[in-house]
């Protein structure tokens, strides 16, 4: 094992290559993944033995797995030994002022209407002592605690509510589920833990912004949400500001559990760095998200607006176990420039009288490639299952692509499964018409695109809906003409 | 208001307009008639600025300004309006939303204050009544599920809302039954004003019974071959376009 000094030097050099000013702490580890690294991560968080063992089992299983290749996205092979799997939060690079931030990034923040102090925080600029994010978080948590709602960092929940974590971790997505879930289970950094007690309707929309260290949770985020009988929670993940990260692979895992009569609404707005205009750099967003409607009459809704990342690969799904349970998936995925997406949903109907809805809107521009991949599975005992799937693709320009891969498997003859698909091009005619009424081209395209996405916007929490519109127009800038 | 001088325009492979000369003054209604393929619609679209057409020669002065040098949305903001022959549908965008956005885009261009919600609602109500439209249509997506007649009415509604200086109606009568035609014509007539010029492109004389023109021009093979007053339209209806062959001579309008 190289001396601490040698490690620091290596780390310092790596950072210099990117032109940042470094702030070195003694907490650096070398790139690479091994059982030692897993132990190190677990040790740094003071995790109980059962969790370390779980991580190790996941890691060992990961070693036996092969990276899946059935996707319709292209990327150069990932060297798993090249990433740094642990990075202490203090290591985050600090710039001295907004002047040092890429002006294009600042331009985007302005367009999205982000207040100055938040801009600093997002760009990694040292924040003034005056901007006290901790006090905002505290007030928020107090309001929740009054209702018995637990919402905090996953790492904290491991210590405060070990029984809950132990019971549900891996219950919806076992580490053996897929390659990236196994990797995540071995090296997950942190995430959210949320528990809503019986009969409680969570009084506030839970937003990841209010979680301490929201921006430092790193590449392998792990989130677990449990809604007890008769409870309700609306959870907002992400933010509209583009975030850069040295690490390219982001493989998060999100598990949702809804008991009888409970409802979970999970909304995501994702705008990770998509890479430059030539397709270089950009984040790989390979996520496993799944909700289990364990109880009768339960409901889980996934709503997502994905405009960032070089590659988005995710299928937020719902397992409809309880009778009369409902699963919903509403998505807008944008691929502009060189972005690629392979996204969709899986709805597994197990209980009786279950219902699922999939509305997917894909927008491609530039040389972007957008894939919808969905699976509707009706198991033998799933009497009276109902599914409605609609996947619409919108093409802007003539070099992009939209592809659809629906999988429908029905094993019960009382099922009703409907699938509709449409592909359209942003018509020259439509743009001409809108321009002739006084709207400049960009505004015309935005209007058409937003009209296309309306069905999904209508189900987004209001603040996200407003941001989503702005976000889409920023993402599609320069795609026309 | 509008001076077209020796306008030549082509689309892809062929020349369609071959030297159009036309003058339109404020307060006037000009009808442009002609057989299929004569270039009537092309002229309408060239005025609007459609990018599929290339102007190879000539100039167009609108209020003394070079119209050809202006972008489509600029022309619109300066008061040029085209009522389309085939209005497109825009899914997910309500008529109301679209109208307000258009109105504001034009106001913004002129540095005027944006229209308030109350003002807009009042304006819309008035004009819907004028055109005998159902106010529920305003919440529907632009032209989506509209019948031919409803689409044409929607065009005139937009014209009423945007108050253009130069309105070009491209075969506004096509696909309309008599009743719809009357409503549309009434709407257009109510928008006549000394400050406004209207160009009506049409195949048939019938529309001109309702929107009575001050001048009628006949377009054939890319040129205006004959100009006259409203009686010319009646003559055409009687004799057909063929009679112009014997009597033809490129003429300058007015």
Q: What is the DSSP string of A327-384?
A: EEEEEEEEE-TT-EEEE--EEEE-SSS-EEEEEEEEEE-TT-EEEEEEEEEE-TT-TT
The percentage of residues in chain B with a pLDDT greater than 90, rounded to a whole number, is 70
Which residue of chain A is at minimal alpha-carbon distance from B44?
A436
Which B residues, 142 through 171, put their C-beta within 8 Å of a C-beta on chain A?
A: 158, 162
Considering A123, A154, A189, which residue would you say is the last residue of a domain?
A123
Q: Are residues A435 and A302 in the same domain?
A: yes
CA distance A474 to chain B (A): 19
CB pair distance less than 8 Å for A447 and B101: yes
Spatial separation of the C-alpha atoms in residues A202 and A225, rounded to whole Å: 12
Question: Which residue of chain A comes nearest to B77, CA vs CA?
Answer: A438
Chain A residues whose C-beta is within 8 A of a chain B C-beta are 427-430, 432-441, 443, 447-448, 450-455
Domain contains A54:
no
Q: Per the domain annotation, does A394 fall within a domain?
A: yes
Q: Give the domain range for residue A83.
A: 4-48+65-123
Q: Which residues in chain A are closer than 8 Å to B48, comparing Cβ atoms? A: 432, 436
Report whether B224 contacts B253 (CB < 8 A).
yes
Count: domains in chain A: 2
Same domain for A338 and A222? Answer: yes
d(C-alpha B101, C-alpha A434), whole Å: 10
Does any domain span residue A478?
no
Q: Residue A53 domain-assigned?
A: no
Kind plus residue range of the DSSP H or E element containing A109: helix A103-111
Closest Cα of chain B to A437: distance in Å? 6
Clarify whether residues A96 and A177 are in a common domain: no
Residue B162 near residue B103 (C-beta atoms within 8 A) = yes
pLDDT at A122: 60
A467 plus A360 within the same structural domain: yes
Structural domains in chain B plus CATH codes: 2-90+165-247 (3.40.50.300)
**Nearest residue, CB atoms, B102 vs list A430, A439, A452:** A439
Q: Of the residues A74, A94, A123, which one is the last residue of a structural domain? A: A123
Same domain for A169 and A314, yes or no, is yes
Together in a domain, A108 and A188 = no
Q: Are A427 and B91 within 8 A, CB to CB?
A: no
Q: Which two tokens stand for residue B141?
A: 């997506």
The answer to whether residues A335 and A407 belong to one domain is yes
Same domain as A138, residue A100: no
Closest C-alpha among A126, A151, A127 to residue A141: A151
* B139 Cβ under 8 Å from any chain A Cβ: no
Which residue of chain A comes nearest to B159, CA vs CA?
A: A437
Residues A137 and A117 in one domain: no
Indicate if A347 and A365 belong to the same structural domain. Answer: yes
Is beta strand A311-314 parallel, antiparallel or unpaired with respect to A340-343? parallel
Interface test with A, best of B92, B99, B105, B161 (most A CBs within 10 A): B92
The answer to whether residue B93 neighbours chain A at the CB level (below 8 Å) is yes
Q: pLDDT digit of tens for each residue in chain A (481 aa)? A: 344 444 433 333 332 222 222 333 445 567 788 999 999 989 988 999 999 999 999 999 999 999 998 888 888 888 888 777 776 554 345 566 667 666 666 666 666 666 666 666 666 554 443 333 445 556 677 778 888 999 888 888 999 999 999 999 999 999 999 999 999 999 998 888 999 999 999 888 887 654 433 344 457 889 999 999 999 999 988 765 555 565 578 899 999 999 999 999 999 988 877 777 777 777 888 999 999 999 999 999 999 999 888 889 999 999 999 999 999 999 999 998 888 899 999 999 999 999 999 999 999 988 889 999 999 999 999 999 999 999 999 998 888 989 999 999 999 999 999 999 998 888 889 999 999 999 999 899 989 998 999 999 999 987 778 878 888 887 787 776 5
Q: Does A477 map to a domain? A: no
Same domain, A169 and A42: no
Pick from A406, A346, A389, A344: which is nearest to A370 by CA?
Answer: A344
Of the residues B75, B105, B163, the best mutation for testing chain A's interface (the one with the most A CB atoms within 10 Å of its CB) is B105
Per-residue pLDDT reduced to its tens digit, B68-125:
999 999 999 999 999 999 999 998 899 999 999 999 999 999 999 999 999 999 999 9
Give chain A positions within 8 Å (CB) of B49. Answer: 435-436
Indicate the residue of B77, B87, B91 with minimum beta-carbon distance to A438.
B77
CA distance A464 to A183: 30
User: What are the counts of helices (DSSP H) followed by strands (DSSP E) for chain A?
Assistant: 12, 20
Q: Which residues on chain A are in Cβ contact (under 8 Å) with B91?
A: 451-452
Q: Do A401 and A275 lie in a common domain? A: yes
């Amino acid at each position: 094992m190289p001396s601490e000094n040698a490690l620091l030097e290596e780390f310092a050099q790596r950072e210099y290559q990117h032109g940042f000013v470094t702030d070195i702490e003694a907490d650096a580890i070398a790139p690479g993944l091994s059982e030692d690294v897993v132990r190190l991560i677990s040790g740094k968080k003071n995790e109980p033995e059962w969790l370390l063992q779980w991580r190790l089992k996941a890691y060992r299983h990961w070693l036996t797995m092969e990276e899946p290749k059935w996707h319709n996205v292209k990327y150069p092979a990932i060297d798993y030994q090249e990433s740094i799997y642990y990075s202490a939060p203090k290591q985050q690079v600090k710039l001295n002022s907004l002047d040092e931030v890429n002006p294009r990034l600042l331009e985007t923040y302005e367009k999205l209407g982000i207040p100055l102090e938040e801009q600093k925080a997002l760009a990694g600029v040292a924040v003034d002592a005056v901007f006290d994010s901790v006090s905002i978080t505290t007030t928020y948590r107090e309001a929740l605690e009054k209702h018995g709602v637990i919402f905090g960092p996953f790492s904290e929940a491991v210590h405060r509510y070990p029984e809950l974590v132990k019971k549900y971790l891996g219950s919806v997505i076992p580490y053996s589920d897929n390659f990236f879930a196994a990797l995540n289970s071995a090296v997950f950094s942190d995430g959210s833990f949320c528990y809503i007690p019986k009969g409680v309707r969570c009084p506030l929309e839970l937003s990841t912004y209010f979680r301490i260290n929201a921006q430092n949770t790193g590449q392998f985020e792990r989130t677990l949400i449990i809604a007890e009988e008769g409870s309700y929670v609306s959870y907002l993940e992400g933010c509209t500001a583009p975030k850069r990260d040295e690490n390219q692979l982001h493989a998060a895992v999100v598990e949702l559990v809804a008991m009888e009569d409970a409802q979970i609404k999970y909304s995501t707005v994702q705008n990770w760095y998509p890479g430059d205009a030539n397709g270089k750099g950009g984040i790989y967003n390979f996520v496993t998200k799944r909700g289990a409607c364990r109880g009768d009459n339960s409901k889980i809704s996934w709503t997502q607006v994905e405009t960032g990342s070089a590659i988005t690969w995710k299928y937020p799904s719902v397992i409809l176990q309880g009778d009369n349970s409902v699963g919903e998936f509403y998505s807008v995925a944008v691929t502009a420039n060189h972005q690629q997406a392979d996204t969709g949903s899986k709805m597994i109907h197990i209980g009786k009288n279950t219902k699922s809805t999939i509305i997917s809107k894909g927008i491609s521009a530039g040389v972007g490639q957008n894939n919808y991949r969905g699976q509707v599975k009706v198991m033998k005992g799933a009497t009276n299952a109902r599914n409605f799937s609609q996947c619409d693709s919108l093409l802007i320009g003539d070099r992009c692509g939209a592809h659809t891969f629906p999988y429908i498997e029905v094993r019960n003859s009382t099922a009703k499964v409907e699938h509709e698909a449409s592909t359209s091009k942003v018509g020259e005619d439509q743009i001409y018409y809108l321009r002739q009424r006084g709207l400049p081209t960009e505004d015309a395209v935005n209007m058409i695109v937003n009209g296309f996405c309306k069905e999904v916007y209508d189900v987004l929490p209001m603040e996200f809906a407003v941001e989503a519109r702005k976000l889409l127009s920023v993402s599609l800038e320069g795609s026309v003409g | 208001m509008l001076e077209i001088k020796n306008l030549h325009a082509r689309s892809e492979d062929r020349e369609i307009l071959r030297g159009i000369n036309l003058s339109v003054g404020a307060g006037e209604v000009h009808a442009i008639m002609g057989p299929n393929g004569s270039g009537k619609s092309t002229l309408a679209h060239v005025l609007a600025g459609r990018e599929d057409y290339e102007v190879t020669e000539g100039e167009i002065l609108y209020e003394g300004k070079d119209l050809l040098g202006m972008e489509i949305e600029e022309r619109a903001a300066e008061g040029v309006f085209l009522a389309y022959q085939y209005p497109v549908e825009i899914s997910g965008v309500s008529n109301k939303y679209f109208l307000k956005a258009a109105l504001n885009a034009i106001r913004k261009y002129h540095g005027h204050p944006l229209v308030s919600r109350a003002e807009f609602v009042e304006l819309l109500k008035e004009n819907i009544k004028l055109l005998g439209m159902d106010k529920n249509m305003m919440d529907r997506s632009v032209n989506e599920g509209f019948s031919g007649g409803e689409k044409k009415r929607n065009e005139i509604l937009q014209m009423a809302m945007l108050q253009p200086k130069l309105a070009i109606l491209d075969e506004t009568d096509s696909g309309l039954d008599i009743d719809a035609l009357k409503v549309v014509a009434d709407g257009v007539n109510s928008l006549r004003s000394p400050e406004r010029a209207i160009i009506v492109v049409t195949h048939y004389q019938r529309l001109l019974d309702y929107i009575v023109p001050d001048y009628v021009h006949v377009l054939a093979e890319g040129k205006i071959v004959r100009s006259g007053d409203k009686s010319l339209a009646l003559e055409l209806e009687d004799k057909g376009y063929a009679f112009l062959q014997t009597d033809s001579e490129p003429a300058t309008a007015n």
